[in-house]
Amino acid sequence: MVQIGTDVQKAKDYLESGQVIGIPTETVYGLAGNALNPDAVLQIFKVKNRPSFDPLIVHTDSIDKVESFVTQIPEPARRLAERFWPGPLTILLPKKAIIPDLVSSGLETVAIRIPNHPLALKLLAMLDFPLAAPSANPFGYISPTTARHVAEQLGHQIPYVLDGGSSQVGIESTIIGFAEGGPIVYRLGGMTLEKLEAIVGRVSVRSHSTSNPKAPGMLSSHYAPRKPLLLKKPEEALATYKPERIGVLAFEEITRLIPVEHQQILSVTGDVSEAAKNLFAAMRALDAFDIDVIITELLPEMGLGRAVNDRLRRAAFK
């Protein structure tokens, strides 16, 4: 069975031997391997059962290192990197040949970020290669926010999970790229549009793709529990399901129409950032209940509420 621990040297040894492991970041836990080793990258795809046309994010610990993987960092991208790295922001940049095409799914750009987690940064500083690290879950399922989540889902396929506690942001990084028309957000995530626009001006959002995505995490159906998740009000669901067969993923208030033990509240204070942090753990808890369906409603379209709503819409996509 997989080991869970805080031994960064052990994590380094596994990665240097070409194996893949679970690592913490402030967003969600990642399934990490040597981004410059095609065999290790292929193992990431195999363990996740991830389609090879869905590119990976490369993680490192300094902008100086980033410059050895890309041909240039455009001026607006550099401003974002200097302001928000380390942090929950991934930037698409033109890649050098040192980055295997398997990492970028054949695209000319590579997705790169510096995670804001002390154990991850310590590990990355000890390595002489960057890490490719998508979320450490079976492809399409709920992302993991604790080491235990990783062990439960992938423990029979990997040797080690570096335990950095619960993820503090709780949803994946925002992904931004730059085209002739200006900055484009390809995935809503842990960095809000408001913060990005304060640095680079107005951004457009192009966050869904049914095939051949331009960036990681763009597929329309994603982040889903095993049980059907529906964007419905309780009274609408009760027309089809018995109350005891319904689970509720609520923003800030429970409903009296459904048994309280089948409800998960994301933030009793109505804080969208707290809701984002609790989202995947709450979805996972509901998925474990003896119920037939999970219902939820969207959050206010502000701040991280946009990213939470993005995850909910994709989890409900059919």
How is the chain split into domains, by residue range?
A: 3-73+80-168, 229-315
Confirm or deny that 59 is annotated as ligand binding.
yes
SS3 240: coil
Is 223 annotated in a binding site? The answer is: yes
pLDDT in tens, the chain (318 residues): 799 999 999 999 999 999 999 999 999 999 999 999 999 999 999 999 888 778 999 999 999 999 999 999 999 999 999 999 999 999 999 999 999 999 998 999 999 999 999 999 999 999 999 999 999 999 889 999 999 999 999 989 999 999 999 999 999 999 999 987 789 999 999 999 999 999 999 999 987 655 556 667 666 566 789 999 999 999 999 999 999 999 999 999 999 999 999 999 999 999 999 999 999 999 999 999 999 999 999 999 999 999 999 999 989 966
pLDDT of residue 202: 95
CATH number for the domain whose boundaries are 229-315: 3.40.50.11030
Annotated ligand binding at 202? The verdict is no
**CB of 25 closer than 8 Å to CB of 120:** yes
Say whether 234 sits in a helix, a strand or coil: helix
Side-chain-facing half-sphere of 178: CA atoms under 13 Å: 15
The CATH number of 3-73+80-168 is which of 3.50.50.60, 3.90.870.10, 3.40.50.300, 3.30.70.20? 3.90.870.10
**52 assigned binding-site residue:** no
- Known binding residue 135? Answer is yes
Three-state secondary-structure class, residue 37: coil
3-state helix, strand, coil in the chain (%, to 5): 30, 20, 50
Supply the pTM of this predicted model. 0.91
